Amino acid sequence: MTKQPAKKVETRIKDTELIDQRRRQIAEGAIEVFVVKGFHKATVREIAEAAGMTMGSMYNYVRSKEDIIYIVYDHITRILRTEMNAAMEGVDDPKERLKAAVKYNLESVNRYSDMVMFMYQSSRSLDRESLHDMLGRETEYIEMFEDLLRQSLAGQEVSEFRLRLAADILAYLPVIVTLRRWSLRQRFDSMDEVLDGILDFALHGTEFIPTDQEGRKPLFLAGD
């Protein structure tokens, strides 16, 4: 189910454990710099410093600045995926699982807002292969929502098309917390309330899935 990322950043170094450790350092250092200055304005020297190594050293684990961006994407998505799995662990009821997934998605996007913002702003700088890799992960992520929706609506007559589309939207909607952060901060007092509100909206939206619109019963009630 989890297809492994195809891309591998090649290096001159042999010691694979060291590679992993250095890559982690690089990812963390790079994120620090990227969220402040963005990819283009960050210099590799700054990144190396933030990563606790010298420029020359870093180039032993990376072939180009573009490689760094891939490592960062990989690092971030790995974190998000890991936390997502943890968040849903132990929740068995399908509807609850769906709700937990959206809720977690909201919270993590909110928590890692800077990183997510960075990802949305820098995708253009990924090379072809890395971009493909990332889009693949996104697809997996959406498909997870698809499964959750399908299980939640088991027994009802559903529009497959709408179900799939809803999955896309549920995966995407929480990102509002990042991309419209400024607007939301301006217009609302409490971000927690906002998160709850978005969750409500999202779940209400899913009601458009069942084919039988007249007799349908709401999946969720506001404030559930």
Partner DNA sequence: AATGAATGAGACTTCATTCAT
Partner DNA sequence: TATGAATGAAGTCTCATTCAT
For residue 54, which amino acid is it? T
CA distances from 78 to 5, 70, 85, 105 (A): 11, 12, 11, 14
DSSP for residue 207: G
Which of DNA, a copy of itself, none has residue 96 at its interface (CB below 5 to 8 Å by kind)?
A: none
- Taking the C-alpha atoms of residue 109 and residue 13, their distance in angstroms, rounded to an integer, is 34
- Taking the C-alpha atoms of residue 33 and residue 37, their distance in angstroms, rounded to an integer, is 6
Q: Which of 1, 2, 8, 15 binds DNA (CB under 7 A)?
A: 15
Which of DNA, a copy of itself, none has residue 63 at its interface (CB below 5 to 8 Å by kind)?
A: DNA
Is residue 55 part of the contact set for DNA (CB under 7 A)? yes
Stretch that binds a copy of itself, among 64-72, 77-85, 92-100, 133-141 (CB under 8 A): 133-141
The residue (of 22 and 97) whose beta carbon lies closer to DNA is 22
Q: Which of 43, 64, 85, 139 binds a copy of itself (CB under 8 A)?
A: 139
Which of DNA, a copy of itself, none has residue 25 at its interface (CB below 5 to 8 Å by kind)?
A: none
Residue 192 burial (C-beta neighbours within 10 Å; 0-12, 13-18, 19+) = exposed
CB 51 within 8 A of CB 131: no
CB neighbour burial string for 89-101, b if at least 16 within 10 angstroms, e if fewer? eeeeebbebbbbb
CA distances from 211 to 123, 147, 182, 203, 214 (A): 37, 18, 37, 17, 9
Stretch that binds a copy of itself, among 63-71, 91-99, 150-158, 173-181 (CB under 8 A): 173-181
Which of DNA, a copy of itself, none has residue 197 at its interface (CB below 5 to 8 Å by kind)?
A: a copy of itself
Q: Which of 9, 88, 176, 191 binds a copy of itself (CB under 8 A)?
A: 176
Instruction: Write phi, then psi, for 9 (nearest 5 degrees).
Output: -85, 115
CB atoms within 10 A of CB 153: 19
Is residue 166 part of the contact set for a copy of itself (CB under 8 A)? yes
Q: Which of 44, 79, 169, 175 binds DNA (CB under 7 A)?
A: 44
CB neighbour burial string for 40-55, b if at least 16 within 10 angstroms, e if fewer? eebebebbbbbbebee
The residue (of 90 and 215) whose beta carbon lies closer to a copy of itself is 215
Q: Which of 8, 124, 128, 217 binds a copy of itself (CB under 8 A)?
A: 124
The residue (of 40 and 180) whose beta carbon lies closer to DNA is 40
Chain residues that interact with a copy of itself, rule: CB under 8 A: 38, 40, 120-125, 135, 138-139, 142, 161-162, 164-166, 168-169, 172-173, 175-176, 179-180, 182-184, 186-188, 193-194, 197-198, 200-202, 204-208, 213, 221-223
